[in-house]
Amino acid sequence: MVVVSLRISIIEQTCRLAHESYLICMLRLSYLTALTVAGLTYLVFSLIYFASFPLWRSLDFLILPGQIERALAAYSAADIAAHLHAVRVWDMIFPAYYGVVISLLVLRYWQGQTRFWYLVLLWVAVAADYVENVYTIRLLTVGEGVWPHIIATWIKFWAISLPMNLGIIRLIRELRAGAATRI
């Protein structure tokens, strides 16, 4: 009983901090949850799509020069064409999408300097993702740019880890607290 009332208190406090009614707060939480789940679903389907490629992955997940060189050597012309299509169409949309969704998580859960630095890290990751996409296209078409691609990939993964992981953890905690109030 104490845990349930504590969880209700957490949700009500979050809503009060945002100066919103409980219903509006829960509606925004539902939208944020749906957007987050859609992004994670895209990521899973992307991994499934690239699992058909040699070495089971796209260049986006290769972080060492040897891995990239082996992948490029193993790709057929059809693999390269499919990878180019995926990068030009889907991977040019996804960074902006996750940038907006994770920004909403950061804006919901943090204030002050923490919010500022998490947003900076996030948008550095988005910019690095676009740089990585440009070098992926260059690698697939010309075969040049291994090191800039690797550097952009490392920056992307390091910069996004804190705002994304902690944002999703806070979202799950809030959802669990909301689920406990309905029991």
pLDDT of the residue at 8: 47
Which residues are CB-contacts of 149 (< 8 A; sequence separation ≥ 6)? 59, 68, 132, 135, 136, 138, 139
Put simply, whether the predicted model's pTM sits higher than 0.75 gets the answer no
Between 162 and 50, the higher pLDDT residue: 162
Q: What is the Cα 48 distance to its own chain's centre?
A: 16
* Residue 5 confidence (pLDDT) above 80: no
94-105 tens-digit pLDDT = 888 888 888 888
* Residue 134 confidence (pLDDT) above 90: yes
pLDDT of the residue at 50: 64
pLDDT of the residue at 33: 74
Query: What value does the mean pLDDT of the chain take?
Result: 77
